[in-house]
């Protein structure tokens, strides 16, 4: 059994013999975390110290002392987490209220990170829908109901994008429709609709990815996991609004049944789409969820997806990208991220971007065929064609920061859960 070491947060530098600006030092059965910075830098330094301790194989720690507040504990936990989940952290320093807040964060983030980290043999469209429904139902069984539509039933109900993307796989595509309604009134208006991209594995289809790019494509359902985790966190914190959740799930595979370049997809809202690249599949499944969300006429629609490499090129793995035509709503999202110690950055979306995805054979194409077009912005513009009143009530998150291909000073390799706090706050505001 691994011995428990005490973990002390110190506001003074480590002794000189531990090295310049050392974040950690040791004495007897105690680990000292030395953080002299303030604000966001303080939390980042705590998270860095946790990464160092995980890397050193210290598997069982216990917070002691009165310097640990809930945000400091959470920053440490984020860095201490690894994909194997083999670390133990005892939290005995927080008040009951703060411990409840920490535990709500932990439950939501652990589910999100673990789900994204699972391989495609474990998480495929049906099991992702089932897992998300089970997670949310257990948080509020009296308020949650759900329905899973899969396979040929998607066609009969008009959800052609998800069906077309997923039909090349032996694992049937599926959509989760989940209703969280704490009012108990079936006629209660939907305050917010959430839509998540759930591509459980993305080969790129006939626009096939190179092996290195495909190696992390189990994480392409990060949008579905993140909106589910965000809703779960809000529910755990007492969310009192009606929220509908749509997870659009498929495997994008190559086979004789797979969709192909040149196909034209006719969506339920009448928009036709020419497929110019089968690796731009996320927007094709999200379109179904956005149409379904729009039919409810909710107060807001929020979608999240690991949608484009362009957003990652712009922002790296540190920030999630935010898009919307409504500047006030975009600002609200940025402020929510800041308040929750997460990172988000607005990228441009203008009406003219909608004109940069034209097609000679359909209303629009699933990528821009022009030179030098803004890939993340035109992807967002594609989605806008499927949102009723997109100019006022819609936010799109391109989750550049949801997954870490290799570990760094702040995060272990794998899923980060980055974005669930922002979405939870937007649901609760």
CA–CA gap between residue 353 and residue 351 (Å, rounded): 5
> Rounded to whole angstroms, how far apart are CA atoms 72 and 58?
19
Whether this model's pTM surpasses 0.85: yes
Q: Which of 113, 283, 300, 317 is catalytic?
A: 283
Question: pLDDT tens digit string along 265-289?
Answer: 999 999 999 999 999 999 999 999 9
Instruction: Please state, for a pLDDT cut of 70, what percent of the chain lies above it.
Output: 99
Spatial CB neighbours of 188, under 8 Å, sequence gap ≥ 6: 181, 242
pLDDT in tens, 58-98: 999 999 999 999 999 999 999 999 999 999 999 989 999 99
What is the average per-residue pLDDT within 186-209?
98
Could you say which DSSP state residue 249 is in?
E
Domains of the chain by start residue, with CATH: 5-94 (3.40.50), 110-428 (3.40.630.10)
State how far the Cα of 147 lies from the Cα of 177, in Å rounded to an integer.
Answer: 5
- Taking the C-alpha atoms of residue 331 and residue 247, their distance in angstroms, rounded to an integer, is 25
Distance CA 106, CA 104 (A): 5
Catalytic status, residue 421: no
In eight-state DSSP terms, residue 367 is S
What's the confidence (pLDDT) of residue 370? 75
Please identify which of the residues 42, 52, 59, 209 carries the catalytic annotation: 209
Dihedral over alpha carbons 307, 312, 314, 316 (to 10 degrees): 150
Structure tokens at 32: 């000292």
How far apart, in whole angstroms, are the C-alpha atoms of residue 144 and residue 146? 7
Cα Rg of the chain (Å, integer):
22
Q: Is 12 a catalytic residue?
A: no
Paired tokens of 167 = 């039909």
């Amino acid at each position: 059994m691994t011995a428990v070491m005490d973990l002390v947060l110190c506001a003074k530098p480590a002794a000189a013999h531990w090295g310049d600006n050392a974040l950690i030092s040791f004495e007897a059965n105690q680990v000292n975390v030395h953080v002299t910075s303030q604000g966001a830098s303080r939390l980042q330094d705590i998270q860095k110290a946790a990464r160092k301790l995980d890397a050193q194989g210290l598997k069982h720690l216990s917070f002691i002392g009165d310097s640990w507040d809930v945000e400091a504990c959470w920053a440490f936990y984020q860095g201490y987490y690894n994909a194997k989940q083999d670390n133990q952290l005892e939290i005995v320093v927080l008040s009951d209220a703060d411990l409840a807040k920490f535990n709500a964060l932990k439950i939501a983030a652990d589910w999100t990170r673990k789900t994204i980290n699972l391989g495609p043999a474990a998480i495929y469209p049906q099991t992702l829908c089932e897992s998300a429904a089970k997670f949310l139902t257990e948080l509020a069984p009296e308020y949650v109901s759900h329905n899973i539509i899969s396979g040929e039933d998607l066609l009969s109900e008009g959800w052609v994008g998800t069906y077309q993307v997923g039909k090349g796989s032996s694992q049937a595509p599926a959509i989760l429709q989940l209703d969280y309604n704490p009012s108990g009134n079936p006629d209660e208006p939907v305050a917010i609709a959430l839509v998540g991209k759930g591509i459980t594995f993305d080969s790129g289809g006939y626009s096939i990815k190179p092996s290195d790019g495909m190696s992390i494509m189990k994480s392409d359902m990060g949008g579905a996991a993140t909106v589910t985790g965000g809703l779960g966190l809000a529910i755990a914190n007492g969310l009192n609004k009606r929220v509908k959740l749509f997870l659009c799930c498929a495997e994008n595979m190559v086979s004789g049944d797979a969709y192909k370049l040149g196909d034209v997809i006719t969506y339920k809202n009448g928009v036709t789409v020419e497929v110019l690249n089968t690796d731009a599949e996320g927007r094709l499944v999200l379109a179904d969820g956005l149409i379904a969300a729009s039919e409810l006429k909710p107060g807001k629609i929020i979608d999240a997806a690991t949608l484009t490499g362009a957003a990652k090129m712009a922002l790296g793995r540190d920030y999630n990208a935010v898009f919307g035509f409504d500047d006030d709503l975009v600002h609200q999202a940025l402020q929510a991220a800041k308040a929750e110690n997460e990172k988000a950055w607005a990228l441009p979306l203008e009406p003219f971007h909608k004109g940069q995805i034209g097609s000679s054979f359909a209303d629009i194409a699933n990528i821009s065929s022009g030179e030098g077009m803004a890939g993340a912005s035109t992807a967002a513009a594609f989605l806008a064609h499927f949102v009723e009143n997109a100019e006022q009530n819609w936010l799109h998150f391109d989750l550049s920061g949801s997954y870490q291909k290799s570990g760094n000073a702040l995060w272990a390799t794998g899923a980060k859960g980055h974005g669930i706090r922002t979405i939870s706050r937007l649901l609760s505001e």
